[in-house]
Amino acid sequence: MIEFFINGQPVQAEDNQTVMQAAKANGFFIPYFCWHPQLSVPGNCRICMVEVTNEGQAEGTGWLEIACNMPISKGMRVLTDSDKVKKRRKETLQFITLNHPVDCGICDKAGECTLQDYHYEYNGSPSVSRDVKVHATKHYPLSDRIVLDNERCIMCTRCVRFTREVSKSNSLGVQSRGDHSLIRPVEDGSFETDPYSDNVIDICPVGALLSRPFLHKARVWYLEPTASVCPGCERGCNVKLWHRKTEWKLKALDPQQNARIDRVTPLENDAVNGPWICNKGRDLAQVFERARAEQAMLKGEAVELQAAIVIAREMIKAARRPVALVSNWGSNEELAAFYGALGPRFACHVKRDWQPAPGERLEDDLLIKPDKNPNSAAALALFPALPADPRTAFPPDTDLVLVWGEGFSFAQLPPKARIIYLNSWLQPENGHADVFLPVSVQTERSGHYTNFQGAVSAFEACFAKKAGVADAETLFGAMGAAS
Amino acid sequence: MTGRKLIMNFEVTPTSHLLADYRARGGYATLERVLREMRPEQVTKEVVASGILGHGGAAFPAGRKWGVIKLNDGQPHYLCANADEGEPGTFKDRWILENAPHLLLESMLISAYALQVRNAFVYIRGEFDLPYRRLAAAVEEAYAAGWFGQGILGTDFSCDIVVYRGAGSYVCGEASALITSIEGKKGYPRNRPPRLTVRGLYQRPTVINNVETLANVTTIVAQGGEAFRKVGTAKSPGTQLVSISGHVQRPGVYEVEYGTPLAKFIYEECGGVLGGGKLKCIVPGGISTKVLTAAEIETVTYDHASLTAAGSGVGSGGMVVIAEGTCMVRLLQILLRFYHHESCGQCTPCREGMGWMHRIIDRIVAGDGRPEDIDQLIRISNANDGTTICGMGDAAGYATVGIIAKYRDEFEYFIEHKRSKLDGRLEVAAGVVA
């Protein structure tokens, strides 16, 4: 450990830390654009200038140095807000905004833009230039998912370093030089196929890299995040689901917008996903906004949910050899409820609700795992997995099968067995079940998933449950009740 | 004559660039002696004792740079000759590469021996054609004669050399951008720390010296560091190759002993201003050094201390003579166009500042200047001072501040009258050039 001083206060830091790292660890804020804790240090934005005076050096003779690349030394005195620093910061911001279009009014990043924040914090005065700005490509489609606005780009190269150091696709680079420098994808199209490409949108400190699905969808200050877990694979990345704030709910226009996932961003969790998620996680809206099953049914005939539960309970009670297929999309709480209420009654097998989609990356060194379901670890801790040939899971005299969750073809069930089916989605199988019970989805309830490493992550409800839909947890209790 | 010659005691003949000629002059004898009689530390000791300062522009003591390299630290070291001579007005290294390539190669071998370098590099400017061909031919000759490769002269010292051609970027003449370029990446300068002598080419300790600095090594080792110190001044030992151009009677490359009075060099040796004109100012060492007016150079001697005291520097030895009648506004426009064009665009102040200054000066020259533009140029220059990754932002700032400080009236006149104060008065070239 080394002791040095930030703004006069003694600070303890690790030997090989930089001023930026030590300041961050000790609660001092130094502004930065290009620096990122997970990426290499390019030192190109020059906004993190601090005044440094070495031990033994006279007061007032300090020099300015970028905090992100400055190794600490014993007794060194760092000033993060001296007059010299403030002046330099202001000048640097003037340089950065010199050719920036300042079109915050139509920029999706407005409201969560680092440049905007720093401008108000450290500069605040109008442009000192009266010369025309350098114009560049305003709308460069980097991929089907991302559009690049080169005028807004401040050349921090975080995106370039991300593809080189994290996603390893090496798919972005800097073209040309000087104030004509442009971020461009490499020509082999590898950025299109980089499954982590959308992270560059998050790490872009300005509105240069924009999500095409989210483009001009909502101002970010109308949105709020709810902590959730991506169910896309057994990694269980922590995510934020962004949706409209209650106070900004729309009364006119399309009310569906009030129950919409506007975008998904990573929720930093070093034990699971760090600050990243893959593109599949960004597209969770496509998973959760499929048509929902909202009506309990008996052989396709609509009934009251309560009536259906009673019938299901009687069927379970009467069954001689019941088999259950447990969903690995169930939360830890739901699995525990099932285990407690119905587990002893059934021969249970864990089925995989989701299989890898054609062309989907199966596994890599960063995040993506082969099992494309969120809670296999917890489910398999309670029950055995469904055999490779599912038919062997059913004894010849099976007379009842409880199927929980989607992704299982009824053709594989013994033909004489009756079926209780719990599903959230509007799917053809629903009508073929003897009893169909619609259940809530992850965005309508809270719970936990356990990932493949045993890390437990929580998700919260962000939307109201649909009428006629029940939580699986309650259903299991009701179906297992004595009478 | 302006004193003793160290490099230019080498007479240029049509065959002086060939190995046979160089051998006949006693070439590679020093290397032979070094390999047979000296230990690496002894060579470094001589270089440290010589006190030679870098000739590329920053004037960093070469011995101190070498001293950082730890011998036997279990990792490869690299040596790189910076032949990316891109500072406008400078063409002295070119003289060495064209006329005495073997002097450079012998010096590099001696340096490589001293620094325990197995692989040495020459990063040569892409625009250099004849220098490249001469150097490449010299390398081939040297390999054929066994001066490079495995077990040189039967000793266990081995060294290979790679000549790497640049692609025309000014910034790649900066040491860290140069090695980034050799590594095959975009020529962006790197942040210090770490210094390149700690982590340079391929993340290994690397010594990068200017061609002229390295070319002096043979002389230093042959004569001994102390003998070398007898030339020049106490603080600036040795000589400097000066490439002089512009409105000067006898342009070319001269070897100037440090301490020579500057006026004497310009007026006597180089024949003064072209066509007998009056001297307005000079750029003493590449356009990144501040200009010195005719009055200022009267008292200056050509060495680091004196030029620094005068507010300028030896720089890269690229001297430009500017005659009375030259419009300094347009001169600055040319300089700023160059800096704008050559800014690599990596860090903010230079990327944005160079273009900004260029647009302002263009506007002034187009007759759309405002009185506050002059201070704006100074402000941008100062905001680039010490804030950039490499020295290019500072250099452009020095040049700008230097010119404006001394010729502010011309800028004010241009802005007020929308034309140059000196229109039509530059008559130096008339009838004299032929």
Residues B146-162 have a mean pLDDT of 96
Which of B327, B326, B392, B334 has its CA nearest to residue B361? B334
Asked whether A103 and A210 are in contact (CB, 8 A), the reply is no
SS3 B43: helix
CB-CB neighbours of A352 under 10 Å: 19
Query: Hey, is the C-beta of B386 within 8 angstroms of any chain A C-beta?
Result: yes
Q: Between chains, do A91 and B383 touch, taking CB under 8 Å as contact?
A: yes
CA distance A108 to chain B (A): 24
Identify whether the C-beta of residue A143 lies closer than 8 Å to the C-beta of residue A136.
Answer: no
> What is the CA B429 to chain-centroid distance, rounded?
28
Cα dihedral across residues A330, A333, A336, A338: positive or negative:
negative
Distance CA A263, CA A273 (A): 18
Residue position matching structure tokens 């994290």: A166
A399 vs A412: CA distance, rounded Å: 14
Q: Above 60 in pLDDT, residue B240?
A: yes
CA nearest to A282, candidates A237, A341, A343, A222: A237
Per domain, the residue ranges of chain A are 2-95, 99-211, 223-288, 297-480
**Domain covering B19-229: architecture:** 3-Layer(aba) Sandwich (3.40)
Tell me the CA end-to-end span of chain B in Å, nearest whole number.
25
Burial category of B108 from C-beta neighbours within 10 Å (exposed 0-12, middle 13-18, buried 19 and up): buried
Which of B347, B354, B388, B415 best probes binding to A when mutated, by most A CB atoms within 10 angstroms? B347
pLDDT tens series, chain A, 483 aa:
999 999 999 999 999 999 999 999 999 999 999 999 999 999 999 999 999 999 999 988 999 999 999 999 999 999 999 999 999 999 999 999 999 999 999 999 999 999 999 999 999 899 999 899 999 999 999 999 999 999 999 999 999 999 999 999 999 999 999 999 999 999 998 999 999 999 999 999 999 999 999 999 999 999 999 999 999 999 999 999 999 998 988 887 777 788 899 999 999 999 999 999 999 999 999 999 999 999 999 999 999 999 999 999 999 999 999 999 999 999 999 999 999 999 999 999 999 999 999 999 999 999 999 999 999 999 999 999 999 999 899 999 999 999 999 999 999 999 999 999 999 999 999 999 999 999 999 999 999 999 999 999 999 999 999 889 999 999 999 998 765
Q: How far is B319 from chain A (nearest CA, A)?
A: 27
Return the pLDDT at B430.
47
> Quick one: CA torsion of B389, B206, B110, B27, rounded to 10 degrees?
-50
* Interatomic CA distance for residues B226 and B219, integer angstroms: 11
Topology (CATH) of A297-480 = Rossmann fold (3.40.50)
- Chain CA centroid to CA A332, Å: 20
Question: Torsion angle, CA of B268/B272/B276/B280, rounded to 10 degrees?
Answer: -140
Of A44, A64, A131, the CB nearest to B360: A131
Q: Which residues of B touch A45 (CB under 8 A)?
A: 347-348
Residue among B130, B129, B149 at smallest CA distance from B139: B149
- Nearest by CB: B345 against A88, A129, A177: A177
User: Could you give the CA distance from residue A403 to residue A405 in angstroms, rounded to a whole number?
Assistant: 6
Task: Report whether A174 contacts A44 (CB < 8 A).
Answer: no
Beta strands in A317-378, from DSSP E residues, in sequence order: 322-327, 347-351
Q: What is the pLDDT of residue B427?
A: 53
Give the Cα separation of A21 and A1 in Å (integer).
Answer: 14
Judge contact between A436 and A418, C-beta under 8 A: no
Alpha helices in B100-169 (DSSP H): 101-115, 130-144
SS3 A141: strand
State how far the Cα of B232 lies from the Cα of B5, in Å rounded to an integer: 10
As a whole number of angstroms, the distance between CA B86 and CA A402 comes to 79
Using an 8 Å CB-CB cutoff, list residues of chain A that contact chain B.
41-47, 49, 63-64, 66, 69, 71, 88, 91-92, 94-96, 98-99, 128-132, 134, 154-155, 173-174, 176-181
| pTM of the complete model | 0.93
Average pLDDT, chain B: 93
Query: Is the complex ipTM more than 0.90?
Result: yes
Of B74, B139, B165, B152, the closest CA to residue B112 belongs to B152
Nearest chain A Cα distance for residue B198, angstroms? 14
Selected for mutation to probe chain A from B190, B346, B381 (highest A CB count within 10 Å) is B346
CB atoms under 10 Å from CB of A307, counted, come to: 12
d(CA A22, CA A238): 27
Q: What gap in Å lies between CA B158 and CA A102, rounded to an integer?
A: 59
Q: Is-contact A405 A423, C-beta < 8 A? A: yes
**Interface with B, mutate which of A85, A130, A165 (most B CBs under 10 A):** A130
Q: What is the mean pLDDT of residues B53-65?
A: 94
H/E stretch holding A2: strand A2-6
Query: What fold, for B328-417?
Result: de novo design (two linked rop proteins) (1.20.1440)
Tokens of B175: 């040491």
Using a CB-CB cut-off of 8 Å, the residues of chain A touching B177 are none
- B68, B198 in Cβ contact below 8 A? yes
Q: Which amino acid appears at position A483 of this protein?
A: S
Q: Please say if the pLDDT value at position B10 is more than 90.
A: no
B271–chain A Cβ distance below 8 A for any pair: no
Domain parsing of chain B, residue ranges: 19-229, 239-323, 328-417
CA atoms within 13 A on the CB side of B374: 18
For residue A42, what is the nearest residue in chain B, using CA coordinates? B191
Q: What is the mean pLDDT of residues B384-393?
A: 93
Do A239 and A281 form a contact (C-beta atoms < 8 A)? yes
Contacts of B363 in chain A (CB under 8 A): 131
Backbone dihedral angles phi then psi of residue B101, each to the nearest 5 degrees = -60, -30
- Mutation target to probe the B interface, by most B beta carbons within 10 A, among A95, A118, A128 is A95
The pair of structure tokens assigned to B279 is 């001297």
Neighboring chain B residues of A47 at a CB cutoff of 8 Å: 348
CB B209 within 8 A of CB B93: no
Residue B136 has pLDDT above 60, yes or no: yes
- Residues in B touching A179 (Cβ below 8 Å): 340, 343, 345, 351-352, 354-355
Handedness of CA B282, B285, B286, B292 (dihedral sign): negative
pLDDT at residue number A482? 64
Whole-number Cα distances in Å, B6 to B10, B11, B26, B218, B258: 8, 11, 15, 10, 12
CATH topology of domain A99-211: Alpha-Beta Plaits (3.30.70)
Confidence class for position B275, pLDDT limits 50, 70, 90: confident
Please report the pLDDT score of residue A252 as a whole number.
Answer: 76
pLDDT reading at B434 higher than 50: no
Give pLDDT tens digits for B280-315.
999 999 999 999 999 999 999 999 999 999 999 999
Report whether B46 contacts B220 (CB < 8 A): yes
Partner A, chain B 72-111, Cβ-Cβ below 8 Å: none
Residues B25-40, mean pLDDT to the nearest whole number: 95
Q: Which three-class secondary structure state does DSSP give residue A109?
A: coil
What's the CATH number of domain A223-288, 2.20.25.90, 3.40.50.2000, 3.30.70.1230, 2.40.30.10? 2.20.25.90
CB atoms within 10 A of CB B397: 29
> Hey, what amino acid is at B122?
V
Q: How far apart are CA B257 and CA B242, in angstroms?
A: 10
Question: Which CATH number is associated with domain B239-323?
Answer: 3.10.20.600
Name every residue whose Cβ is closer than 8 Å to that of residue B135 and which is 6 or more positions away in sequence.
B83, B97, B101, B104, B122, B124, B163
CA B142 – CA B157 distance, rounded (Å)? 15
Whole-angstrom Cα distance, residue A6 to residue A14?
A: 15
Contact flag A88-B387 (C-beta cutoff 8 Å): yes
Name the class of domain A2-95: alpha beta
